Amino acid sequence: MTRKLQILAVLALIGCATAVAAQGESSAGPLRTRLVRSSLRLTQPLPGLTEPAELLATDTLRRASVGGKYRTLLFAIRVPQDQSTYTSFSDYGHSETPAWGGFSGLPGGYWVYVYPHWYVWRDQANGAAAPSGARSWGPEQATGEPDTETAGDLSTAWASLTPDDQDEWLQLEYERPIRPVAVIVHATFNPGALGRVTMSRADTEEVDAWKGADPTPAGSDKGVSILPVKVDFETKLIKIHLDSKRVEGWNEIDAVGLVDQMGKTHWAVRATASSTYASQEEAPDREVRR
């Protein structure tokens, strides 16, 4: 791939797609064909251009990789007319379609539509396979054992709708009532926002169980916060409160454990939240957030 083509490919991928695409409309055939054939591997550095890590931090690629669910971009093709069918975002999944949108000879891969491009990835990341029916970044991603192995904006953790617009809470339900001695919070992106934990007695009354400064400092890439609690009742419903406005960025939670008096850690079976980034999947006709 020549330097010029690399630049075009990268521009297309980092959100300057419109300008490139406009150019592509006039000299459409060659540019499109070359974009398809140029196998842009983000795992390899692009000489003289933005480092792969920075590329992955961009808005478009983040969406296109479904928050890190897919890796190793094979190619991107511009098919703006697919918006009418696939809306502005679609995690289509694996496809072996060899021809699409006027392009042919396409290898198989995981297809994601972020208007106006299809991005096709070679791999699905390990551990990113959400539990059946779980939405990327939904509160349900905070149930079960920790499954987000690395720090980062990954869809196997819960994320609120907006990064800093309001303070947030995440409510977790456990299989049976236990008398907890500690809460263990696995934060995998922008940690440090924990401010309070409440627990429900019987069915309704919420009681403060912990309050203070998050033991994982803001600015860490990830952290496991162990919060000692002292309650004189059994509970199976707890709520962690995040000072999201104070700690910049999406304060994402991978899992929340409840430690009983025997030292056994229980993981949540259900979760709800004040808001979630996942709600876009329930309303695909809405404009994609971010």
The residues that touch Ca ion, with contacts defined as CB under 5 A, are 141, 147, 156, 164, 244, 247, 251, 254
Query: CB of residue 115 vs Ca ion: minimum separation in angstroms?
Result: 27
Which of residues 51 and 221 has its CB atom nearest to Ca ion in the complex?
A: 221
Which of residues 143 and 235 has its CB atom nearest to Ca ion in the complex?
A: 143
Angle between helices 3-13 and 17-26 (to 10 degrees): 120
Which of residues 82 and 153 has its CB atom nearest to Ca ion in the complex?
A: 153
Query: CB of residue 132 vs Ca ion: minimum separation in angstroms?
Result: 14
Query: CB of residue 207 vs Ca ion: minimum separation in angstroms?
Result: 26
Which of residues 36 and 128 has its CB atom nearest to Ca ion in the complex?
A: 128
CA distance 264 to 256: 13
Query: CB of residue 242 vs Ca ion: minimum separation in angstroms?
Result: 7
Angle value at C-alpha 113, between 108 and 119, nearest 5 degrees: 45
**What six digits make up the tokens of 256?**
């929340």
Query: CB of residue 112 vs Ca ion: minimum separation in angstroms?
Result: 21
Query: 3-state DSSP call for residue 141?
Result: helix
CA distance 42 to 51: 9
Which of residues 24 and 257 has its CB atom nearest to Ca ion in the complex?
A: 257
| Residue of closest CB approach to Ca ion | 244
CA distances from 176 to 203, 204, 255, 270 (A): 13, 16, 17, 12
Q: Other C-beta atoms within 10 Å of 2: how many?
A: 9
Query: CB of residue 246 vs Ca ion: minimum separation in angstroms?
Result: 7
Residue in this structure with the two tokens 């707890």, named with its chain if needed: 238
Cis, bond preceding 163 (omega within 30 deg of 0)? no
CA distance 267 to 140: 12
Query: CB of residue 284 vs Ca ion: minimum separation in angstroms?
Result: 23
Number of residues written out for the chain: 290
Query: CB of residue 49 vs Ca ion: minimum separation in angstroms?
Result: 30
CA distance 258 to 226: 10
CA nearest 273: which of 252, 245, 287, 249? Answer: 252
Query: Residue type for 4, please?
Result: K
Which of residues 64 and 256 has its CB atom nearest to Ca ion in the complex?
A: 256
Which of residues 164 and 234 has its CB atom nearest to Ca ion in the complex?
A: 164
Which of residues 102 and 249 has its CB atom nearest to Ca ion in the complex?
A: 249
DSSP code for 158: B
